[in-house]
Each structure stands twice: as structure tokens, then as C-alpha cells.
Structure 1
């Protein structure tokens, strides 16, 4: 499918020029996040329309090479790559919206994390206040001394499907059916201080979850570093007023011990992919 440069008045497409993907802020951190934010400001200063919002939502925004200086590129093995911090300055139209600071997409039409300079949470008390007003009914909130816990999932499965632990430093730890992950690129893309609780929850639930390793035999699991991820489930066939039967183990997935769990893109993390390759080599 032919892609088009997002700059107004530019007729370049993927068939006539090399297009570079505009990085999405929700997938970036540090210097790359600041770069994505600067690019967004430049693009929003020359263009504002519903199609642009849709491209942002799909993370499918492209800009062609004709808008960058030669010094903005790094030589790659097969093609030049944009340097982090490169800003389009060539062949640009006149600014139509010079005062634009942020794109304000409607929550009903976009699942993109909206992170601005506005401070929503300075401490755990602010998070508790947000939870009292905006927490979805499917989520539960608990306030602790040095952190808060948010849960999502059915009562018939222990532990909950998604557990979010936010510390006094406003750093997030996430768990999927009890599998806790201290950090990952996906988690680090969430800025609790500058993001509404609704957007934090929406972003977390929109993450892909690594499907783990597919193998009918568990031989060589210990050698490769694979463990089975279980949760406990209850039998729901009985009437609600009766005492539930004892919980039984429910296999969620087979994972590498270094599984990244939450993914921005794809359905399997690199550690699990590598472990699966090693397992196939050993079993063959």
C-alpha cells in the first residue's frame, strides 16, 4: 500500500521517495520522547485535520526525506536513518497554527496515550483522588503506605488479570496474572505525573501480552530457562450461593524467565522467541 508524506503540499509518497515513520510518544522515553514531542509540534503547526488524528491513532504517520537536511541522517547498512532530534526544516509550508502546543484527540476516537505538560499526579494522594472520580467499574483500587494497587480481572481467577503497582516515586510495576514485571520499554512509556488515570489504564489495557512459548513437551525447559506461568481458577458451574470448589491451577503460558510480558507491538517478546528457537534446536 502506497503511503503519503504527512506534510501539506508535499506530493511525495513511498513510491517516489523514502518515507520515515514519525515516532509515537507513547512508545518513547527519554531523548526519543522529546524528539517525538518536537515533531508533533512541527506537524501540528502546519496541519490539523481528522485524518491526521487517525494517522496518530494508528501510529502510521510518515514524513519524507525531502524535508530534512543531509546532516539530519545517519548512514545505515541499507539506507540512511534519521538522527534522534532531527526536525524537518526544508520545503515546509507556512505555519497555519503557530500557537499549537499539543494535539488534543478525543478519547472516544483515539487510544493513544495523551501525555502533556499538565501535572495530574504529584503524589499517591492525587492518584487516590483520581481513582475516586474516574476509576472504571471493572477496576479496584487499594491505598498502601508507600504505593497504590489497581486491579482488573474476574473474581474467579487469582491473582487478577492485570495488577498495577504505583510507588511514591510514581514508577509503575505491572503484573499479568501474577507475573510481575519491574520495567520494560512499554512500561517506561507511561508518565504517571503527566497522564490522566483514565489514559494510564487505557494504555495498559491496550498493550499486547506476550503469548509465550508453544511446545507440547516440557523437556529441556530447565536447560533453556523456561517456566510455566499459572494462575488459580475456581469452578463457576455451581450456584452462586454455594461454597466454591477449591481453586485449580490454570496454565496461562509457558515463558522464558526473562519474558518482557507487555509489548508495544507484536505478540511475542524477544526472550521468549529466542528461548523457543533454542528449545526447538535441542528437541530436534
Structure 2
């Protein structure tokens, strides 16, 4: 293929959500508040788990990783989006665009894999409670977390490499709020067969496989709960999974709904909504779900507050 007219751009222009100045100001306030809540909520979860020895358990080790991912994930794109609400020129350099693309993909994939590891943790807690601390040893927990982070990073590195190498023949206007794969691929002026294959493979690795593992874990969990004769015992067993099941349903549900739609039905606006959901909504809601529905977290918060008040007096 002749590549005489193939050129790469030095920066991209992000069209964002709206061109109306008043609307942009309102969006800045809305998403700015959500971003602050995300930092405060996930930061508080991290602080409680570090400070309270009673939370030094496998479940909270994974929750600590999840909160760290949420903080980094939302920080990879939201601050720039907030700045663009206030700026006339909504540009991003090629290097920053590539970095944003890499980190958002890596952290998003890592979150799906961590949720799968947490599902296994809940399976052991319900189906083999007497051996829980033996099975979920510190070594296994660290191994599962490291695998989640490594697979997320490697998967993102591959997809970012094949996406950012695409020439756009001078086209640099992205109809999106961030440097996302589909928006970048749509600008390409060369064959994108390899990119499509990589996107499908990436979806299998970080979405389909973890989703199948989560589903299998909960099938076994439900089967175990149904064998418990007492109503109170069933409620207690289900209570250990309620927070995680809520987060999983929200995260995987939105992702599967989007990926199962025919590409002819998908639109740029849908892609924007999906990105905003994972960058703003999910990281903000995760700490609320785990704190409001978890007695251990609420008890740890009370103990920390009591200790801090005692120190002041």
C-alpha cells in the first residue's frame, strides 16, 4: 500500500459532551463534585483498611486494590475533561492522548480482573468457611492481585501500541470526551483489521473470561446458600456477597450490554456514556456500596473517629 499521503498528527481535538458554554459550566460542577466524592470515598476506604487491623483480611485486601484502581482510573481522564469544560481549545497532545489511552485501558481491565478475584474470595468464604483463611492465604491474595494488574497492563500495552500507530491522514477531531480506542480507530485512514482483532481479543481477556469466572463462582455460591436450612443462615451467607454482587452487576452489566449490541446500533454518544459511567459513576458508587452495606467498614470508621476524638481531648 502506498503511504505517501499517510501522516500522523501531533495533537487531537476532543469534541466533548456539549459546545454550549452554560451547559459546560453545569457539567463542570456536576463532574467536579463526583470526582471529589470519588477521591474522598475511595481514599477513606484505603485509610480505614490500612489503619484498622480488623480489616486486614483477604476481602479487604482486594477492596483496597479496587479503591486504588478507582482513584487512578478516574484521575486518568476526569481532570482533563474538567479542564476542557472551561477552555476554548479542547486539545490534547499525541503523547498525552497515548498515555491516557494506556492508563484507562489498563486500569479498567485490572478492575474487571480484580472483581473476578473477589468473586473467588466470596466463593471460598461461603462454600468453605472453615478453611477460608487457609485457602485465601496472603500468598494467594498477592498472586491474584499481581496477575490482575499485570494482565491489565500487558493487555493495555498491546492495544495502545496497535491503536496509536494508526495514521489518520491529518484528521485529528475525536468525537469523544477522552482518547478511547473506538474514537481513535475511526480516524484511521489505513486498514484496521488487526485493530479489530486486537479489540475482540482484549474484550475476551479482560471482560468475557472474568465474567465467566464470576458467574461460575456465584452459581456455586447460590447452590451452597440453598443448602442452608435456616433463613438466618441464608441471609448471613448472602450478606457476605451483597456488596460485591451489586458492584459486579453494575460493572459487568453495563459492559456486556454495550458489547452485545450490533456495531450498527452503537453510536458515539453511547461510547461517551459508557466512558463516563466507568470514569465517573462506578468509582464514585463503589465506596458507597461497600461502606453502606458492610458492617465491618462502618465499625472501623466508628473506631477511627473515636480514636481521633480521644487524641484531640
TM-score normalised by the chain length of structure 1: 0.26
Structure with greater contact order relative to length (CA < 8 Å, sep ≥ 6): 2
For normalisation by structure 2, the TM-score amounts to 0.25
Higher helix share goes to which structure? 2
Higher Cα Rg, which structure: 1
